[in-house]
Amino acid sequence: MENLTVLALAIAVCLALCNASPLMTSPDDRQIAEDYLAQFYKDPDVTQPNGRSLDLPNFEKDLKGMQEFFGLEVTGKLDTNTLEVMKQPRCGVSDVARYVHFNGKPRWKQSVVTYRITQYTLKLRKSEVDATIAKAFKLYSDVIPLDFKQIYSGTADIMILFKARNHGDSKPFDGPGQVLAHANPPGPKKGGDTHFDEDEKWTLSSQGINLFLVAAHEFGHALGLDHSEDRSALMFKNYQYVNTNGYKLPEDDRLGIQALYGVRGSTDKPKPKPEPKPEPCNPDLVFDAATSIWGDLYFFKNGYYWKKGYYSGLSQHKISSLWPSIDSVDAAYTAKDKKTAFLFKGQQYWGVRDGKILPGYPKPISSIGFPSYVKKIDAAVYVAYTDETLFFVGSKYWSYNGRTGKLGLSKRIQDNFPGIGSRVDAAFENGGYMYFSNGAQQFEYDFRAKRVNRVLKNYAWLNCY
């Protein structure tokens, strides 16, 4: 009889343990769960007197909703798996949102959406952030008829910043881990604005938090997508690293965004065909730009450059193979140190040295002092004799004073550089002379004497005789 009593007691204990929650929760665990449900599973239209939207007596109901959303076992009990999911890094957008893809479908109505980065992370170079943000937006512009343009002043459609803790909205960040970023849905004023937690370790690799993947996710929200329950989707709510080489928008996200904006297809304006690889020995060759870096001459044309060195000879390369974020160059010049070059395209320019883009670039040409009507620089060259940089635009040129750091008033090319024509397509200094290209012709110019020494052909520099 005694043995039967012991056996019955053991069975009872076993049954009790088997039916118990897999995790004996502590007050701290319970608080984590309550905070999590309040932040991500609240009804945005119902607010409790204490400022929180979660009706705590319904903790079990809300927990079941969260477990169902993540594909966990729906028990309504705070078990180990549920708490582990709650502690994972994730997007800060609620899983029960006011704006959802299927109800209301908020979207941008214009064909070009502007964005501006007002505060950069200190974990990456500015040029890396610019390139990564552009790459994240391109995931969407590749599949929908919507284009994105970065601006550097004023108010953009989508304002972007990196900042820790309180950062100007009602959703302060929580330090390293859990909430990585959040974004508003499309709309006026703060619609589309996207914020990244500067306390995170932002990287471009599998280490830390990959900025490209998080940015692409948040921009999905900024364009009108809600969270997806598909674990393979970019819009799945928790952060998950995947290889970003050749990354394309997953099918679930592509179908969702195309349902909002349509499909980029044959009705869109055709993208311009890539420029052909330039031939060096073409007597009609016109340079896009030219400069000298560390004593080597660089001649730019159609997304390529020729490098001519005294010892290395002549070689041709794609510009993007050396500077990945630059696909073509309108103008170029090398600074006084003869090591740092500045490359211009449109209304932006980059500083480069030792084959790398310098931090803080690209910058707008307006930062040099150019008026807004200047859309591109035709040519540029540094003049050591006067410590000034000359910028050529159409039939005029500007002089930037290296001592005062100021851009002077524009002047007519013909008035101050007799004999070289009314425009300059490329310019560089070599052996004490200035070389100004106008079309396929090039003028060797004595800057001190203000006269043309001789007239050449551009292609003569490329070992073509």
Q: Are 288 and 302 in contact (CB under 8 A)?
A: yes
State both tokens at 221.
Answer: 């929200």
Q: What are phi and psi of 454, to 5 degrees?
A: -160, 165
| Alpha-carbon span 227 to 230, nearest angstrom | 9
| Residue from 388, 456, 397 nearest 423 by CA | 397
34 a catalytic residue: no
| Residue from 216, 217, 197 nearest 208 by CA | 197
Instruction: List the catalytic residue out of 198, 218, 275, 429.
Output: 218
Q: What are phi and psi of 318, to 5 degrees?
A: -75, 140
Please, which contacts does 84-87 make with residues 24 or more away whose CB atoms are closer than 8 Å?
85/238, 86/32, 86/33, 86/36, 87/32, 87/177, 87/178
Q: Are 143 and 249 in contact (CB under 8 A)?
A: yes
Q: What are the residue numbers of the active site?
A: 218
